[in-house]
């Protein structure tokens, strides 16, 4: 089971220090992979604080070139160089606010894989697509254009846009159906099984319900990963789940 904490553009140095003080007291399970995605300027700071723990660190984004005249961009090679293991790509906030296309996401993912970073490629439909019963087609199209053709390891995160930061989440049936759809499409392209994370308003209140969905391989948490109490409550639920299964 994978727990990914996307801090987005939140938490200053002192907040991170406080968060880590409590996180380090947590009883970590070797059945759970935990990765935190801070703002890029604090990556090294977080990596240093997490030395000698099993907690991993990743970037929230990267570019599709390794180096060169691309002011403001982040090289996947440099993420790897400072000790990152994962990189989130194609988050709906990047697609919406920074106009990142699926083709762009795919190019970034292919370059990230070359540097041995593991991409977490985000997909998710809008409320309108869901209301028009277009969600399966939309996601299929997004996956075809976003995932690398190379047979490497990466994750897909299913994050319905209408669920991000809203408190409303899909039903377990809807999550199951979409994860099944995503796994089948990925298999048809790659001829291998892929792991799918669920993201969107994951909280201590709904995590137990989400974990009942058999094809959820982990969660990508936004808001609830910023508050140590909520985050540890979610971690505790996942730990209980993996121990019972």
Verify whether residue 241 is a known catalytic residue.
Answer: no
Among 23, 200, 238, 239, binds ligand 13P (CB under 6 A): 200
Nearer to ligand 13P, 226 or 242 (CB): 226
Cα–Cα distance for residue pair 229/19, rounded to 1 Å = 9
98 part of the interface to ligand 13P, by CB under 6 A: no
Using only the alpha carbons of the chain, give its radius of gyration.
17
204 part of the interface to ligand 13P, by CB under 6 A: no
199 part of the interface to ligand 13P, by CB under 6 A: yes
222 part of the interface to ligand 13P, by CB under 6 A: yes
Among 46, 108, 197, 202, binds ligand 13P (CB under 6 A): 202
Verify whether residue 100 is a known catalytic residue.
Answer: no
Closest of 46, 72, 149, 70 to residue 103, by C-alpha: 149
156 part of the interface to ligand 13P, by CB under 6 A: no
How many CB atoms within 10 Å of residue 81? 10
117 part of the interface to ligand 13P, by CB under 6 A: no
Token code pair at residue 13 = 């140095």
- Angle formed by the axes of helices 135-146 and 172-190, to 10°? 40
194 part of the interface to ligand 13P, by CB under 6 A: no
* Piece of 70-78, 130-138, 216-224, 228-236 that binds ligand 13P (CB under 6 A): 216-224
Cα–Cα distance for residue pair 214/176, rounded to 1 Å = 7
220 part of the interface to ligand 13P, by CB under 6 A: yes
List the catalytic residue out of 100, 125, 135, 159.
159
159 part of the interface to ligand 13P, by CB under 6 A: yes
DSSP 116: T
Per DSSP (E only), the strands in the chain are: 2-6, 33-37, 56-59, 86-89, 118-123, 155-158, 195-199, 218-221
Contact residues: ligand 13P, CB under 6 A: 6, 91, 159, 164-165, 199-202, 220-224
Catalytic residue ranges: 91, 159
């Amino acid at each position: 089971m994978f727990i990914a904490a996307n801090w987005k553009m939140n938490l200053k140095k002192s907040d991170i220090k406080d968060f880590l003080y409590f996180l380090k007291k947590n009883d970590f399970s070797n059945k759970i992979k935990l990765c935190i995605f801070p703002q890029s300027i604090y990556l090294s700071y977080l990596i240093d604080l997490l030395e000698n723990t099993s907690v991993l660190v990743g970037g929230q984004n990267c570019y599709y070139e390794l180096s060169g005249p691309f002011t403001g961009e982040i090289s996947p090679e440099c993420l790897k160089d400072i000790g990152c293991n994962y990189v989130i790509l194609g988050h709906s906030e990047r697609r919406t606010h920074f106009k990142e296309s699926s083709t762009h996401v795919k190019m970034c993912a292919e370059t990230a894989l070359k540097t041995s970073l593991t991409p977490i490629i985000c997909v998710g439909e809008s409320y309108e697509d869901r209301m028009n019963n277009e969600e399966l087609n939309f996601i299929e199209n997004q996956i075809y254009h976003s995932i690398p053709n190379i047979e490497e390891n990466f994750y897909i995160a299913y994050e319905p846009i209408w669920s991000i930061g809203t408190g409303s989440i899909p039903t377990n049936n809807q999550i199951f159906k979409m994860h099944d759809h995503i796994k089948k499409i990925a298999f048809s392209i790659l001829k291998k099984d892929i792991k799918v994370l669920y993201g969107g308003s994951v909280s201590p209140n709904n995590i137990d319900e989400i974990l009942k969905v058999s094809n959820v391989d982990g969660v990508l948490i936004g808001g609830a990963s910023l508050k140590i109490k909520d985050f540890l409550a979610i971690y505790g639920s996942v730990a209980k789940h993996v121990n019972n299964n």
